[in-house]
Each structure stands twice: as C-alpha cells, then as structure tokens.
Structure 1
C-alpha cells in the first residue's frame, strides 16, 4: 500500500491548486475590461487565446510553487504571488495597448496573441524566480 501513501498530500495540493486556479480566473476576469466568458461563448477566438495564455502563465509558476513548497500554506502564498504577477502583466500590456479590450472584443488576434505571449513570458519568469 505504499504506492498510495502520498495520496492525502496529493489531494491536498491538488485541491489547493484547483482553488487557486478558480480564484485566479475569477480575479482575472474581473480585472479585465472585457468579459472573456461571454466573448468565448460568442466564439471570439481572441478572447480564448488571451485567456488561455494567461491561464498557462498562472499555472506554470503555480506548478513550481507546488514542487518547491515546504507546506500547503507556502504553496498558497506563492500561488497568490503568481496571481498578482499575472494581473500586473495584463495591466502592463494595457499600458502598451490602451484599447486592448476593444481589440479582443473585436476578435483582433494580434492583441490577443501579444497578451497571451506576455502572460506566458511573465509566468515563465515568475516560475524561474520561484526556484529559490
């Protein structure tokens, strides 16, 4: 039975990660000036690309936080750091493209790709910084 001895810890970290991801998606969609879910339901590809890149950019450092965490509390703290970094990435891209949300709503892929790529890049740098 040692093969499943770590199951309780696995479930604890998985639950924490799922909760943090749900929190991230809630905070992110409230922070943006456009409604990603409504746009995706209308088949606006740009919204899906931007949100997908952001989700990857958040979960990369979250995975590193889980790997390096000394406790679930440690994981939660670093997961919240990852959340803050991703929201900051969104606002930085909005400084470059003030009409970012309008472009995404209009399904303009250049803006969505830039936001998605910036989100992934921010997540990679965030994850690498967590390898303390």
Structure 2
C-alpha cells in the first residue's frame, strides 16, 4: 500500500470511535424521547401516522445538529459524550416546552393531527440549531 493510503486509514480508528459514540448517543436520545412521550411513536409510525413521524423526525434532527457540533469541536471522546448529554438535556427541555404550549400534544399526535407535528418538529430543529451554534467553545 502507498503511504497516502496508510495515512488515510490511520484516521479510521478515530472516525469509528467518534461515530460509535455519536450513534450510541443518538440511540440513547431516541430511547429517552420515546419513554418521555405518552404516545407510542414507533407504533404510530408503523401505522403510517405522519404527525408522529414528523414530530419524532424533528426531535431526532434537533438532537443530531448539536451532536454534529459536539463532534466537530470536541477534543476527546469524553468531551463529545459530555456535550452530547448537554444536547440531550436541551432537546428534552424543548419537548417539555412543546407540551406546555400544547397541553394535549401527545393526544393530538396520536390522533395524527399534522399541524402540531410540524410545529413541534420546527421547534425541535430550531432549538437544535441554537444549541449547535452555542457549542463553539
């Protein structure tokens, strides 16, 4: 193998480490989010309910955005994990904010009302963008 290929492959362990931690954090976020919501996201999504898919998809994107920033700016895997937990907490707070805005938010998602699903996705993504932008340490 040429030296350039070996140098290129030298970064593979770091990539796999950061990617692995990021995927673990994303799975953790999904587990936490699904447990917080009284409606069953996966069942609703399997039943082809766009409101649930939109809201949950927005929450995932809203978490992935600051996770991206944490990966970009972190100096180590523990640093990434700590900022990932911060991102998770902020997104959980965004969920509670949405629930405060829409007292019957879970019921409306379960009834497949698309407007609350779209609006909540927009809030989750906006919070994620602000969260990511704040991670410029």
Aligned to 1:7: 12
Aligned pairs (5 A) from 1:31-42: 31-42=36-47
Shift of 1:131: 1.0
Aligned to 2:25: 20
Distance between the aligned counterparts of 1:95 and 1:6, measured in 2? Answer: 45
**Residue 128 (str. 1) matches residue 133 (str. 2):** yes
Distance between the aligned counterparts of 1:71 and 1:3, measured in 2? Answer: 20
Listed as ranges, the gaps of 5+ residues in structure 1 are none
Distance between the aligned counterparts of 2:91 and 2:38, measured in 1? Answer: 15
Aligned pairs (5 A) from 1:66-77: 66-77=71-82
Deviations 1:24-60 (A, max 9, x none): 0000000112110010011111000000000000000
Distance between the aligned counterparts of 1:33 and 1:93, measured in 2? Answer: 14
Listed as ranges, the gaps of 5+ residues in structure 2 are 1-5
> What is the number of equivalent residue pairs in this alignment?
132
Q: Which of the numbers 117, 126, 134 marks the counterpart of 1:112?
A: 117
TM-score (ref. length: structure 2):
0.95
Please tell me the root mean square deviation across aligned C-alpha atoms, in Å: 0.5
SS at match of 1:101: helix
Deviation above 6 Å: which 4+ runs of structure 1? none
